[in-house]
Structure 1
Amino acid sequence: MNAGSRIPLRIITLLAAICLGVLAWTTFGFVVPFKHETGQVVLDVYFAGYDELTVGRMRRLLGQNEIANNLLRAMYVGPEMIFPALFAALLLLVLMRLRPGGSYSARPLDPFLVKLVYAVPFLYGFADYGENISSLVAFGGGVRADQAAQLLPWLTRLKFASLAICLIVIARFAIIGAMHQDKGET
């Protein structure tokens, strides 16, 4: 029996439901009110990334609008404090359940590559936390605000790149697993 097969599907389902609940809390408790208050979206939802100019505009907006500033801060010390860890754990458990391994182009996968695949959800979690911390610092106006503002777009790109890699790997191994099940049934 493989270690991944011992992860009950109900645990993954429960973790996915918790992630959806925290995401709903973030969206309806902070993102939607922020958009209503300012007419703009929070930088966390820029999937394609953004640049330092966008960060500068957000800094000016938050400096002029105390309600928006409080909403953003509350989001980062509220649901965004737990969501990266929950979602990284979900990605890792799904990968473990799918048991990346087997072969690629008729050659067995190197065990180091499998470990590297398992590291990607952690990279996502660290990048998301880094983005959150950089946002708090960049929008807080301290001595490190400019450095955090420069770092922020890169952390967001790293977060979404690692998430995309996770989703691609999950899809690949889910398809391979389904193909192997079909071959076993015939």
Structure 2
Amino acid sequence: MKAGSAIPLWVVALLAALCLAVLAWTTFGFVVPFKHETGQAVLDTYFAGYDESAVFHMQKLLDENETAAKLLNAMYFGPELIFPALLTALLFLVFLRLGPVGSWFGRSLHPLAAKAIYLLPFIYGISDYGENISSLIAFDNGASEGLAMHLLPWMTRLKFASLAICFIVAARLAIARWLSPREG
């Protein structure tokens, strides 16, 4: 029996379903109405990244459109409070379920490197929450908005980069597990 097989598949499936439900809530409850209201996408959805000028433009847009500002605030205090935690838990459980990290790459890894791979989902979660906090500060017209405006594009890039790395590692692990000889 492999180390990760103790995690029931139904737990992973339930977390995946919850992630999809919250993602649908975010998309259809906030992202689509925001785009309809402003003609512009929420910065959180810019997969390729953006720069500080986009943040400045969004800040100006939110200052002029109270409905859009309320939508964005509600998104951050609604589904965006729980989605990063759900997705982090899902990714972590997927990594655990795929088995011992030392055997993932067909050779033994340094124990510290093997354990560091399990941190990847948490890097995603922390960066997603960091992006959300930076957005709230940058668009609040408070004292720290300048720093938040500089950090926001980097937090978004870190979020999507770490998420992409998690998906690549999980796919690699699933393929390696599928191709590995079965233990009897």
TM category, shorter: over 0.9
Give 3-state SS (helix, strand or coil) of 1:158's partner. helix
Structure 1 residue 165: Cα displacement: 0.9
| Residues paired across the two proteins, number | 182
Structure 1 residue 4: Cα displacement: 1.4
Match of 1:102 in 2: 103
Match of 1:173 in 2: 173
Give 3-state SS (helix, strand or coil) of 2:119's partner. helix
Structure 1 residue 101: Cα displacement: 2.6
Structure 1: runs of 5+ lacking an equivalent: none
CA contact (8 A) 2:91 2:121 kept: yes
Q: CA RMSD in A?
A: 1.3
Structure 1 residue 7: Cα displacement: 0.3
Return the alpha-carbon distance in structure 2 between the equivalents of residues 168 and 62 of structure 1. Answer: 36
Structure 1 residue 30 corresponds to structure 2 residue 46? no
TM-score of the two chains, using structure 2 as the length reference = 0.95
Structure 1 residue 110: Cα displacement: 1.9
Give 3-state SS (helix, strand or coil) of 2:44's partner. helix
Give 3-state SS (helix, strand or coil) of 1:140's partner. coil
Match of 1:91 in 2: 91
Seen in structure 2, the aligned counterparts of structure 1 residues 103 and 25 have a Cα distance that, compared at 3 Å, is closer
Structure 1 residue 59 corresponds to structure 2 residue 59? yes
CA contact (8 A) 2:104 2:176 kept: no
Match of 1:17 in 2: 17
Q: Report the residue type matching 1:102 in the other structure.
A: S
Map 1:1-186; keep pairs closer than 5 Å. 1-99=1-99, 100-102=101-103, 104=105, 107-180=107-180, 183-184=181-182
TM-score of the two chains, using structure 1 as the length reference = 0.94
